[in-house]
Amino acid sequence: MSELSVDHLLGIKYLNKKDIELIFETADHFKEVINRPIKKVPSLRDITIANLFFENSTRTKLSFELAEKRLSADVINFSSAQSSVKKGETLIDTVNNILSMKVDMVVMRHPNPGAGVFLSKHVKASIINAGDGAHEHPTQALLDSYSIRERLGDVKGKKVVIVGDILHSRVALSNIFALQLQGAQVMVCGPKTLIPKYIDKLGVKVEANLRKALNWCDVANMLRVQNERMEISYFPSTREYTQQFGVNKDLLNSLDKEITIMHPGPINRGVEITSDVADSKQAIILNQVENGVAIRMAVIYLLASKIKQ
């Protein structure tokens, strides 16, 4: 039987093409399961999973919890705001206390880049990175590619532009790695101040003009400006940002072809995307959320299979 090349999911950069194919094939099976009247399988009745969220989340947290429950795992949830982290407990102490309750797998979102890698070196559990600062968000990139594959038939050969705040985005970095592994071409588009200086080393195209970027691509992945990670202003005003980098229906209708619109959420309606685009048939934003459950079931199932060996 095929298995993942990794024991943890810390970032897309640690995966290979075969890993992604295996995750997608497994997700296809689980997508069928979650559309049945009984949406549950008994596969992980012997596995306990802790969801540790040191940063806010709606989609990722709920999606992981649902994926774990659909696989019949035992689940415990931890949110740093109501925990003893506030009393000065370290990350390793927190996690080791949780693991002493016989936990097999940890899903963690943390504001510090590399937190998952650090944890994987110090605790005995399989770690899934649910977003580490501006570094990686691997399950988001997997569900994004899976959604492109579902809508357009394949990821290979497709042209994808990621628009907006690339500098502070873990979604952008994970998507670049995932899309390139599958043979897609990637472009980034946004204010010069929000494009990282190292972008050339990632082998992506850079375009400052949104209309040109949208005319080039098959898919546009619109990102939110991450004000919470900014200590200074990176552009003159939100109004100006929207004028230059926001997508609206008039702009889409004026393009040479119909493109697919994605957004990882949360959306700032009227800033990077207008409601008539977000709620249109061209947008697959809620399909992305739906696919997130099947993708996370696949990742958890495949990593748990390695624990059980």
Site for ligand CP, rule CB under 6 A? 57-60, 131, 137, 140, 264-266
Report CA 262 to chain centroid distance, whole Å. 12
CB of 293 to ligand CP, least distance (A): 13
Sheet bearing 105-110, strands edge to edge:
74-79, 48-53, 105-110, 126-132
CB of 135 to ligand CP, least distance (A): 13
Three-state DSSP state, 59: helix
Residue closer to ligand CP, measured from CB, 110 or 216: 110
Residue closer to ligand CP, measured from CB, 131 or 191: 131
d(CA 173, CA 199): 10
CB of 58 to ligand CP, least distance (A): 4
Write out the two tokens for 150: 């579902």
What is the phi/psi pair of residue 126, to 5°? -80, 130
Sort 34 into a burial class: Cβ within 10 Å, 0-12 / 13-18 / 19+.
middle
Residue closer to ligand CP, measured from CB, 25 or 279: 279
* Largest pairwise CA distance in the chain: 59
CB of 96 to ligand CP, least distance (A): 25
CB of 40 to ligand CP, least distance (A): 23
Residue closer to ligand CP, measured from CB, 19 or 65: 65
Residue closer to ligand CP, measured from CB, 59 or 159: 59
d(CA 158, CA 162): 13
CB of 120 to ligand CP, least distance (A): 20
Residue closer to ligand CP, measured from CB, 140 or 147: 140
Residue closer to ligand CP, measured from CB, 216 or 225: 225
- Strand pairing class (185-189; 105-110): unpaired
CB of 69 to ligand CP, least distance (A): 17
Q: Bridge-partner residues for 9, per DSSP? A: 128
User: Which DSSP category does 269 fall into?
Assistant: B
d(CA 245, CA 242): 5
Output the CA torsion sign for 178, 165, 288, 58: positive
Residue closer to ligand CP, measured from CB, 47 or 107: 107
Residue closer to ligand CP, measured from CB, 13 or 59: 59
Contact present, 145 and 182 (Cβ < 8 Å)? yes
68, containing H or E segment: helix 59-70
CB of 79 to ligand CP, least distance (A): 13
CB of 56 to ligand CP, least distance (A): 7
Residue type at 127 in one-letter notation: I
d(CA 21, CA 4): 10
- In the complex, residue closest to ligand CP by CB: 60
